[in-house]
Amino acid sequence: MQSENRIFDDLSRLINGAAGTLAGVGREFEANAREKAKQWMSGMDFVSREEFEAVKAMAAAAREETEALKARLEALEKNAGTPPQPATKTRGGARGRKTPPVA
């Protein structure tokens, strides 16, 4: 009877050891796959989530500021009694130069 228990004990130790080894191999494979994916993604010129969220917040702030400035401009024009003028286009991005009328 004693010998049967030893066989079962040895067999259970062997199975536990194999399970631990397989779990370690699985973790190592996952870590290697994750590292390879990071290397591949860094070569693809993607932005990180943090960078995306920062730019998204900047765009939202700029949009809010633009809306506030539009409202302020409309209020000033209303108080001044002058009709709002349409935005003028500039050529070549130069400030202050208006496009000449097209003949």
Q: How far apart are CA 18 and CA 24, in angstroms?
A: 10
Contacts of 77 (CB under 8 A, 6+ apart): 83, 84
Note the pLDDT of residue 80.
86
Note the pLDDT of residue 83.
64
Query: Cβ(89)–Cβ(101) under 8 Å?
Result: no
pTM: 0.40
Query: Cβ(97)–Cβ(91) under 8 Å?
Result: yes
- Would you kindly state where each structural domain of the chain is located, as residue ranges? 1-46, 48-81
Q: How far apart are CA 20 and CA 17, in angstroms?
A: 5
- Give the model confidence (pLDDT) of 16-43 as tens digits: 888 888 888 889 999 999 999 888 877 7
